[in-house]
Amino acid sequence: MSSEPTSEPTKEPIKEPTKEPTTTKKEKKKSSSWDSVESIACIIGEWAWIILLIEGIIFIFWGLWGLLWVGAGAVAAQQAGVAEYVAADLTWETFIYILDIIGGIVTIIVAVVLVRPRFSNKWKEKDYDYLLDDVIEIGSVRIPTFLIIGIVIEILTNFWGGVVILIPLLLLIFMGPKEYNWKAE
């Protein structure tokens, strides 16, 4: 027996050269910024229809509550003999609360009919191609359908309701895994 240590040469695995995926004009390499916001965008997108449904119900109740107080104010103004002085204010407030009710009803309809099947379900499935290709073409410009719907909901819900549509969609357009093409071909 010899006292020399025996050492066997270790074989290192041969590393195959890896090819970097080539990116096309329409597709860019998945960015780390998208990786950091994807989960947030997906959660907001998935829950958008439920949030809009709740917002619609809140707006309907807010409008009805406001009309109750406008009616009480009108009765009090008439009893105090100042109805002609506050008539314009009461009319304006009535108009605003009726718009809240209409906005709430439209928001509920849009949430159930459009947002759930064509937006929230697509976020749940992570079908980004559908979300980016669901567009309205105006001339040579491609505008995402839900960008327009989000802006309309913003207007109908006093400039805060459409945020649940706009935030995930804008994150997808500007930071998403694919580059969005604004020009129609």
Tens digit of each residue's pLDDT, the chain (185 residues): 555 555 555 565 555 555 544 444 444 555 678 999 999 999 999 999 999 999 999 999 999 999 999 999 999 999 999 999 999 999 999 999 999 999 999 999 999 999 999 999 999 999 999 999 999 999 999 999 999 999 999 988 877 889 999 999 999 999 999 999 999 88
| pTM higher than the cut 0.85 | no
What is the C-alpha separation between 15 and 12, in angstroms, rounded? 9
Is the separation of the CB atoms in 49 and 116 below 8 Å? yes
